[in-house]
Chains A and B, each alone.
Chain A
Amino acid sequence: MTTTERKYPAPAVNPEIKPFFDAAAQGTLMLKKCGACGQAHHYPRAICPFCASDRTEWITAAGRGTIYSYSVMRRVPVPYAIGYVTLEEGVTMMTNIVDCDLDAIRIGQRVKVVFKPTDGGPPVPVFTPA
């Protein structure tokens, strides 16, 4: 089952997270990594959620990962797959699984990032089978 795409609502960008979406517009997936405890996190914050340090830095993610979980929303005009993808950098992020047969999606499947335009905002990272 391949479908036409649903419209992506625009993310509400604020100064703390603007670099993430500026990078997304260039086709790059960014994460925040802490200079104090060395751990990456998502969604990106100025303050590390693990150790409360403000020494967080933007890093470029490889954009590859595996599907941790997903669900295909059926009772809507355009069915779509929401999912969580665990990146090679170790963090898991909410996303959509796109450009594939929705019935063939599986947990553990390898995926890679692609960016989709939103309704009046910057593009957002979604994933497609690698």
Chain B
Amino acid sequence: MTIKGKAYIAGIFEHPTRKADTQSLAQLHAESAIGALADAGLTKDDVDGYFCAGDAPGLGPLSMADYMGLKLRHMDTTETGGSSYVIHVAHAAEAIALGKCNVALITLAGRPRAEGMATGTVPRAPVAASPDAPFEYPFGPTVVNQYAMAAMRHMYQYGTTSAQLAWIKVAASHHAQHNPHALLREVVTVEEVISSPMISDPLHRLDCCVITDGGGAIVVVKPEIAKSLKRPLVKVLGAGEAPKHQMGGKIDLTYSGAVWSGPAAFAEAGVTPSDIKYVSIYDSFTITVLITLEDLGFAAKGQGGKLVADGNLISGVGKLPFNTDGGGLCNNHPANRGGLTKVVEAVRQLRGEAHPKVQVRNCDVALAHGTGGSLGTRHGSATVIMGRE
């Protein structure tokens, strides 16, 4: 049993707002849903499967089905932080392959800016009864200092430099200049990244992603429906998912769960890294991209710094164009969860609908990868490979 060719991504939508002062959370989810359904040429009455994660209001699918008036026969609330939506694409394809639903809707939304949430530099209160919390929370773990420890160890073990990490932000900024919705559209230099304020050693302000309100949605459908619609055909080829954690104290911060999710996705898709024309890589921080690219096999472990340097991630310039919407580093990181927008830009690339300045030529196979949670403690890795038909 495989999901290869069993499901297509028919609709995508990225909410244009970056600060949602006048919308509710449910409203942002619904506006995103309607956008993706309209993109596909479908309506909410076609939806029979719904997927959401911890950002959804109330009781997730129950609250959103109620708000939107959905009649469902399949629901999935897999929650792995920002990578959830990449997993949802795979789970939607599985459900469709099994006949559990025909039109699967995935939504994401949030308003951390409107709510004044201090996202990266204040420890988040632990989820009730998290078994790890008594042994972590007292020490002040924040999003940024956890990822920073992964970066620090990678630098120590492999000689990775701040300048190499900075190139990731530089590449994202080159792409974001062409995205009218991007929060940060100014092209930056390696020097500007390195001289931006140190947040938590060795991560500077410009090594960190943006904080935005907004959302997005994806519609996954069965092949017969995809072929009846007027949109370019984007097929799900393969997927993989895995948690990585602290191994009972055998901690190794130099790799991510992509070492498992990546090979699973490549095997199912029947392709290798050299077949991939475009990658969307979750970029909560610059280090997230570097470690992920190594783990997915685009560079040997420890050699990611060389891969990302010198503009190699810039579309039209380098060998491995990434995050051509500007990614989380420059464009959008709605609800502090960047997985959904990673799939959205990969689909734009496969359709040939990315901005002409960043569109990858002959983009027939693309990969989207999410890292939800923290590289410094535990996270969910999710890889999906898609192809143009």
- Report yes or no: A42 in contact with B249, Cβ–Cβ below 8 A: yes
Segment of B125-133, B216-224, B305-313, B324-332 in the binding face: B125-133
- Report yes or no: A69 in contact with B253, Cβ–Cβ below 8 A: yes
Which one of B135, B145, B253 contacts A42 once the chains associate, using CB atoms below 8 Å?
B135
- Report yes or no: A84 in contact with B132, Cβ–Cβ below 8 A: no
Closest to A12 in B: B134
**Once the chains are docked, how many angstroms separate the CA of A68 from the CA of B247?**
15
Closest to B142 in A: A73
25 inter-chain pairs at a CB distance below 8 angstroms, sorted by A residue, are: A8-B138, A8-B139, A9-B137, A9-B138, A11-B133, A11-B135, A12-B134, A17-B134, A43-B135, A43-B249, A45-B248, A68-B253, A70-B152, A70-B201, A71-B152, A72-B201, A73-B145, A75-B198, A80-B140, A82-B141, A82-B146, A83-B149, A92-B251, A124-B138, A124-B139
**Once the chains are docked, how many angstroms separate the CA of A75 from the CA of B232?**
46
Which 6 pairs from chain A and chain B are nearest by CB? A91-B249, A11-B134, A71-B148, A41-B248, A49-B248, A42-B249
B150 lies within 8 A of chain A by Cβ: yes
A59 lies within 8 A of chain B by Cβ: no
What residues of A have a CB within 8 angstroms of the CB of B230 in the complex? none
Count chain A residues whose beta carbon lies closer than 8 angstroms to a beta carbon of B. Answer: 46
Chain B nearest Cβ from A105, distance in angstroms: 9
Chain B nearest Cβ from A4, distance in angstroms: 14
B363 lies within 8 A of chain A by Cβ: no
Chain B nearest Cβ from A26, distance in angstroms: 17
Given contacts A11-B138, A82-B139, contact A71 B145 (CB under 8 A): yes
A114 lies within 8 A of chain B by Cβ: no
Q: Among B132, B144, B246, which residue has the most Cβ atoms of chain A within 10 A? A: B246
Chain A nearest Cβ from B245, distance in angstroms: 9
What residues of A have a CB within 8 angstroms of the CB of B134 in the complex? 11-14, 17, 21, 43
- Report yes or no: B135 in contact with A93, Cβ–Cβ below 8 A: yes
- Report yes or no: A74 in contact with B201, Cβ–Cβ below 8 A: yes
A107 lies within 8 A of chain B by Cβ: yes
Q: Which residues of B contact A (CB under 8 A)?
A: 121, 123, 126, 129, 131-142, 144-146, 148-153, 156, 197-203, 246-251, 253, 377
What residues of B have a CB within 8 angstroms of the CB of A86 in the complex? 251
What residues of B have a CB within 8 angstroms of the CB of A43 in the complex? 131-132, 134-135, 249
Given contacts A84-B251, A84-B253, A91-B249, contact A73 B200 (CB under 8 A): yes
What residues of A have a CB within 8 angstroms of the CB of B141 in the complex? 82, 94
Chain A nearest Cβ from B100, distance in angstroms: 32
Closest to B202 in A: A71
**Once the chains are docked, how many angstroms separate the CA of A9 from the CA of B134?**
10
Chain A nearest Cβ from B309, distance in angstroms: 23
CB contacts between A and B, total, < 8 Å: 121
- Report yes or no: A96 in contact with B249, Cβ–Cβ below 8 A: no
What residues of A have a CB within 8 angstroms of the CB of B201 in the complex? 70-72, 74
The 0/1 profile, CB within 8 Å of B marked 1, for residues 110-130 of chain A is 000000001000001010000
- Report yes or no: B152 in contact with A107, Cβ–Cβ below 8 A: yes
What residues of B have a CB within 8 angstroms of the CB of A49 in the complex? 247-248
**Once the chains are docked, how many angstroms separate the CA of A92 from the CA of B140?**
17
**Once the chains are docked, how many angstroms separate the CA of A41 from the CA of B156?**
25
A28 lies within 8 A of chain B by Cβ: no
Chain A nearest Cβ from B132, distance in angstroms: 6
**Once the chains are docked, how many angstroms separate the CA of A90 from the CA of B247?**
12
**Once the chains are docked, how many angstroms separate the CA of A14 from the CA of B126?**
14
What residues of B have a CB within 8 angstroms of the CB of A91 in the complex? 248-250
What residues of B have a CB within 8 angstroms of the CB of A83 in the complex? 149
Closest to A103 in B: B201
Closest to B133 in A: A12
**Once the chains are docked, how many angstroms separate the CA of A49 from the CA of B250?**
11
Closest to B132 in A: A43
Given contacts A69-B150, A71-B148, A107-B153, contact A94 B121 (CB under 8 A): no
- Report yes or no: A45 in contact with B200, Cβ–Cβ below 8 A: no
Chain A nearest Cβ from B116, distance in angstroms: 17
- Report yes or no: A68 in contact with B251, Cβ–Cβ below 8 A: yes
